[in-house]
Amino acid sequence: MEKNVIEQVFGTDVFNDDRMREKLPKDVYKSWKKTLESGADLDTDIANAVAHAMKEWALDRGATHYTHWFQPMTGVTAEKHDSFLSPATDSRPVLVFSGKELIKGEPDASSFPSGGLRATFEARGYTAWDCTSPAFLREDAAGVTLCIPTAFCSYTGEALDKKTPLLRSMEAISKQAVRILKLFGYNDVKKVSCSVGPEQEYFLVDRDKYLQRKDLIFTGRTLFGAPAPKGQELDDHYFGTIKERVAAFMKDLNIELWKLGVLSKTQHNEVAPAQHEMAPIFATANISTDHNQLVMEVMKKVAKRHNLECLLHEKPFAGVNGSGKHNNWSIVTDTGINLLDPGKKPHENTVFLLFLAAVIKAVDNNAELLRLSASNPGNDHRLGANEAPPAIISIFLGEQLEDVIEQIVKGDASSSIQGSQLDTGVHVLPVIRKDATDRNRTSPFAFTGNKFEFRMLGSSLSIAGPNFTLNAIVADALQDFADELENSGNFETDVKELIKKTIIEHKKVIFNGDGYSDDWIAEAERRGLPNIKSMVEAIPYLVCDKTVKLFERQNVLNKVELESRAEINYEIYSKTINIEAKTMADMAGKQYIPSIINYVKSLADSINSIKAASSEADISVQTNLLNKCSSLLAKTQKALANLEKVTAEAANKEEGKEQATFFKEVVFAAMEELRAPVDELEMIVDQEYWPVPTYGDLLFEV
Ligand code: ADP
Ligand code: MG
């Protein structure tokens, strides 16, 4: 029988464990596994052997080049390709790939954002192999390339990327969790890791139409556009039947992802027209981060094959939902226990309750940081608006845990609410059990059975930042707990006391109601929870004293690294808005205004010819339209001039906070002012004259 396509293709482009076992001498493979498990430094001989095996495999598959694939602060991935070719003694080429080349690379790093960490004249940066994430092959027009996941650091060892702090944070949380577990007698646990499953939302639009919109090309979102007559109000797209063209894309996407070992699992239509989602099965945090970068890259690539364009921007279209990424996160031991699994009787599960208390404490103490970790310029359009979680960080626990927590606060927990049978009222339907807790879709940080779902992330964001933040803050809470409990004279009593004390202190961050309601905003304010409206306002929390101490204590980022990241964040914000402003000016000046002038002229011509033909004809429609368009045209021109003026002013502001704030407060407002009259004109101008595809064309004609 022929194999199923998943079995045929899964992992074929990955140098995974099976392949290592097959290609490496037995003893080398064993030492390699040992190194991996212990986290010890990699021996040169082993590195050489792995490099050799990797090369043989890649060459067999037709690879000509290899690359150290890394994740600089741009949020996208970077790579520089080298061929396997080496100088030969005779005229024949020799193909070489040594252990040294596998573990270390040296891209010229001067043009990556470093936030002042590296002067251009000190351009050295190193990439170091992350041997816990498997190498893979990428096939494209350049041929086949062996891609080696790496971390990227400066000459003096500072992290220049998103991966290094993530790997550091994984060690931090492991160390502290192992300490805690020892106290409970789990002496066999050597390592704890975080599992992450990111759900990815995206839009697909027709590529020919996309290419007619400079705003989509340059900024990833529409900067102009009147609403289509239909939006998402009928809820008929959500989970709806998938259109043929989109289905063909999804099929291809799955195959490409499966080849790369990405466990692509779920696909469906999302709320907005032309919006979809893909969710993989969770994996260890660093692999999941690599995979999510691949997912975004492959989505873009595969879309083009179908003459579609994949939009990963958080808010490609005003008036309909934007896109996010749900980051499902849990902590598991190397012996296979999910520490966030409450089991049937959470009230008796002290290990679970202690880890839960750590998460609650971590989130409450560091809400600002979490909020920042989910921010990018695009996500400012969503957070706090009525479609994404509010910008206020709170935790949803659900009925069952909420009840346990209440009991703990009052004294001692002695029971857990159990799931019951679902009554559908229909006899032919099978009996199903319902979960002890319903879902909550409005919470930014929701407990969902055996994991937390951090729902604030923007769709285009690298998940490295949110996860290293989460790992670091939870590690820090666990460290406090371990410090306290290791000195305890009576562990049983003290651990319960600690859980109770922590919950009482941090209970204010728990909220099980509707996160979209106005009542909640007022209530959150009463509770003293931060409500940070924008990315620019969140950035300072990256360098405040509390954050620096925490990240340094956990060895995730030091002060200099944090300061550089704050700079980069300001810079990214300013540059993004600057590009948007310039794109708007370009479109208004070269496309909208000339087209509207043409239309106005056609109205004037028509009025004149009618007048010439008859002095009695009613020309009020044409005249009204002419007047209305002319007045909106004048408004457009004025707003354009203002936008150009303030954008030029922004360039003279001091880089960093001052400039970013100016972009947010002044330039962004000027952009809105320019958009308004153009969108109004779009509703009245003859479509023959309209220079770009409309929302209707983009959202409904895939
Ligand atoms: P939703 O109902 O939230 O849309 P999905 O099934 O689409 O749920 O996505 C849930 C995501 O959570 C998947 O990526 C899944 O693999 C992941 N997930 C499930 N269990 C865990 C876990 N223990 N730790 C981390 N992620 C998990
Ligand atoms: Mg979800």
Using one digit for the tens of pLDDT, what is the confidence trace for 64-118?
999 999 999 888 899 889 999 988 777 788 899 999 999 989 887 677 888 877 6
* C-alpha 453 to ligand 2 mean position (Å): 7
Q: Which ligand is nearest to the CA of 455?
A: 2
Compute the distance between CA of residue 296 and CA of residue 312 in angstroms, rounded to an integer: 8
What residue ranges line ligand 1, CB within 6 angstroms?
195-197, 199, 266, 279-282, 326, 328-330, 338, 450-451
Per-residue pLDDT reduced to its tens digit, 616-637 = 999 999 999 999 999 999 999 9
**What is the per-residue pLDDT for 667?**
98
Q: Is residue 255 part of a domain?
A: no
Nearest-atom index, ligand 1, CA of 341: 23
Q: Is residue 332 part of a domain?
A: no
Q: Is residue 242 part of a domain?
A: no
**What is the per-residue pLDDT for 119?**
59
What is the domain extent for residue 669? 573-700
Which segment of 120-129, 281-290, 305-314, 665-674 scores lowest on mean pLDDT? 120-129
Alpha carbon nearest to ligand 1 atom 4, residue: 199
- Residue 147's H or E segment, with its range, is strand 143-154
Same domain (yes/no): 538, 680: no
Ligand 1 site-directed mutation target among 239, 276, 282, most atoms within 8 Å of CB: 282
Domain boundary among 557, 583, 608: 557
Per-residue pLDDT reduced to its tens digit, 135-164 = 999 999 989 999 999 999 887 788 999 999
Q: Is residue 181 part of a domain?
A: yes
Domain boundary among 525, 557, 589: 557
Read off the pLDDT band of 237 (50, 70, 90): confident
Same domain (yes/no): 691, 581: yes
pLDDT score of 321 more than 70: yes
Per-residue pLDDT reduced to its tens digit, 565-576 = 999 999 999 999
Compute the distance between CA of residue 683 and CA of residue 677 in angstroms, rounded to an integer: 10
Length of the chain counted residue by residue: 702
Structure tokens at 455: 């729902």
* C-alpha 525 to ligand 2 mean position (Å): 27
- The alpha-helical segments, DSSP class H, found in 554-592 are 559-587
**What is the per-residue pLDDT for 386?**
62
Same domain (yes/no): 439, 476: yes
Q: Is residue 295 part of a domain?
A: no
* C-alpha 340 to ligand 1 mean position (Å): 13
What would the DSSP string read from start to end of 155-203? TTS-B-BSHHHHHHHHHHHHHHHHHHHHHTT-TT---EEEEEEEEEEEE
pLDDT score of 182 more than 80: yes
According to DSSP, the residues that pair with 36 across neighbouring strands are none
**What is the per-residue pLDDT for 122?**
64
Cβ-Cβ contacts under 8 Å for 565 (sequence gap 6 or more): 73, 115, 542, 557
* C-alpha 512 to ligand 2 mean position (Å): 16
Same domain (yes/no): 185, 83: no
**Pairing between strand 63-69 and 143-154?**
parallel
Same domain (yes/no): 131, 174: no
Same domain (yes/no): 471, 584: no
**What is the per-residue pLDDT for 38?**
79
Rounded-to-10 torsion of CA 13, 17, 23, 26: 180
Rounded-to-10 torsion of CA 82, 15, 461, 150: -50
* C-alpha 4 to ligand 1 mean position (Å): 24
Same domain (yes/no): 595, 622: yes
pTM equals 0.95
Nearest-atom index, ligand 1, CA of 277: 7
Per-residue pLDDT reduced to its tens digit, 586-620 = 999 999 999 999 999 999 999 999 999 999 999 99
Domain boundary among 557, 586, 621: 557
Same domain (yes/no): 379, 455: yes
Q: Is residue 438 part of a domain?
A: yes
Compute the distance between CA of residue 206 and CA of residue 296 in angstroms, rounded to an integer: 18
* Burial class for 301, CB neighbours closer than 10 Å (0-12, 13-18, 19+): middle
Alpha carbon nearest to ligand 1 atom 19, residue: 282
**What is the per-residue pLDDT for 118?**
62
- What phi, psi does 2 have (nearest 5°)? -70, 145
CATH number, domain of 22, equals 3.10.20.70
Same domain (yes/no): 684, 586: yes
List, as own/partner pairs, every contact residues 147-151 make where C-beta atoms lie below 8 angstroms and the sequence separation is at least 24, other chains included.
Answer: 147/66, 147/67, 147/69, 147/79, 148/66, 148/67, 148/68, 148/69, 148/102, 149/69, 149/70, 149/290, 150/68, 150/69, 150/70, 150/105, 151/70, 151/127
Determine the average pLDDT of the residues in 19-26: 93
Per-residue pLDDT reduced to its tens digit, 47-60 = 999 999 999 999 99
Same domain (yes/no): 538, 633: no
How many structural domains compose the chain? 3
Same domain (yes/no): 60, 177: no
Cβ atoms 652, 666 nearer than 8 A = no
Determine the average pLDDT of the residues in 543-571: 97
Ligand 1 site-directed mutation target among 173, 196, 199, 333, most atoms within 8 Å of CB: 199
Per-residue pLDDT reduced to its tens digit, 119-139 = 555 667 889 999 989 999 999
CATH number, domain of 613, equals 1.20.120.1560
Compute the distance between CA of residue 298 and CA of residue 293 in angstroms, rounded to an integer: 9
Closest CA to 198 of 568, 481, 454: 454
pLDDT score of 422 more than 80: no
Q: Is residue 201 part of a domain?
A: no
Read off the pLDDT band of 381 (50, 70, 90): very high
Q: Is residue 207 part of a domain?
A: no
Arithmetic mean of pLDDT over the chain? 93
**What is the per-residue pLDDT for 636?**
98
Same domain (yes/no): 581, 486: no
